[in-house]
Amino acid sequence: MSSCSRGPALATSRDSSAELIKIDKAAGKITLKHGPIKNLDMDFMTMVFRVADPALLDKAKAGDKVRFEADRINCAITITAMKAK
């Protein structure tokens, strides 16, 4: 296990909701004001995420309400799927 691993997730759902605050296409990052992310044991907060696929950034805009999935990839919390509600 790497030093950034938190062990197995206990939650069964990987789906969370958020408001999209900002998109940084050049950096491949997105800022979300999100609800709990159960599989990562995270509570409500606003934070910047990397995206696994830059094409996800073309499917939404600031102010949108989105559903997303996130996971730890190479020690970074990364959005793996996202769609506007």
pLDDT digits (tens, 9 = 90+) for 26-59: 999 999 999 999 999 999 999 999 999 999 999 8
The DSSP bridge partners found for residue 21 are none
Would you say residue 5 lies in a domain? no
Would you say residue 10 lies in a domain? no
List of residues 6+ apart from 40 with CB closer than 8 A: 6, 9, 70, 71, 72, 77
Provide the domain limits for residue 56. 15-84
CATH number of 43's domain: 2.40.50.320
Does the pTM surpass 0.85? The reply is: no
Would you say residue 71 lies in a domain? yes
Would you say residue 75 lies in a domain? yes
6 pLDDT above the threshold of 80: no
* Structural domains of the chain, count: 1
